[in-house]
Amino acid sequence: MSWTKEKALGQIREIGLVPIVRAPSAEDALLAAEAIIAGGIGILEVTMTVPHALQVMEKVADKFGDKVLLGAGTILDTETGRAALLAGAQFIVTPALNLHVIELARRYSIPCMPGALTPTEVVTAWQAGADMVKIFPCGPVGGAKYIKALKGPFPQIEMLPTGGVNLETTPDFIKAGAAAVAVGGELVDLKSLREHKFDAIAATARLYVEAVRAARASLVK
């Protein structure tokens, strides 16, 4: 399956989870990516803060191909965004609102989840063409309650909370109206990485998938 924009967004909506790979080395990042995929999540985001992040993306893309929807995170400018797309990224995530990056993603028909926090930033991102808006950092400003508050006036905007997402809060975010959640260190645990406990990461990945599924099921009862 080749990842069209519609299929990529459909995959994110269906699984409801975007694992974020931040690791101290390229080797750890590759192992974390394999563990996430082994855990049944065919999506992952490699941040540009990973050493040699572009090479990591290239290796993941080469090894797994269309079996994984590969994203590039912490994209701060169009030059980095373009390099990530050439390395195999199929969607772009930013920590802050950069309208030029959204424009780049639209030009190449790639999903873009720009970072925003305030209502004004959220609407600005959506009007500029964001496919989902990454609400970051969500935890410090109220977590799921903040998502629920934003969804009141903006029910049409799909939101991806980041920051403060863990196994305990994931169901609350989904019930509050999040289209999906993005989770980093709570899933790709640095201690597990350093101890090469990749089975633990895969097991945790499965728990997140089930948490999203159960939360959605409770909404349709």
Catalytic sites, residue numbers: 45, 134
For 96, counting Cβ atoms within 10 Å of its Cβ (0-12 exposed, 13-18 middle, 19+ buried), the class is middle
Paired strand residues for 217: none
Amino acid at 8: A
What is the signed CA dihedral for 150, 156, 160, 164, rounded to 10 degrees? 20
Per DSSP, 162 falls in state: B
Per DSSP, 90 falls in state: S
Ramachandran assignment for 145, one of left (phi > 0), alpha (psi -120 to 50 degrees), beta (any other) = alpha
Q: Among 152, 158, 156, 169, which Cα is nearest to 116's?
A: 158
User: CA 110 to CA 85: how far, in whole Å?
Assistant: 9
Task: Please provide the size of the chain in residues.
Answer: 221
User: CA 216 to CA 209: how far, in whole Å?
Assistant: 11
What is the signed CA dihedral for 205, 165, 72, 201, rounded to 10 degrees? -20
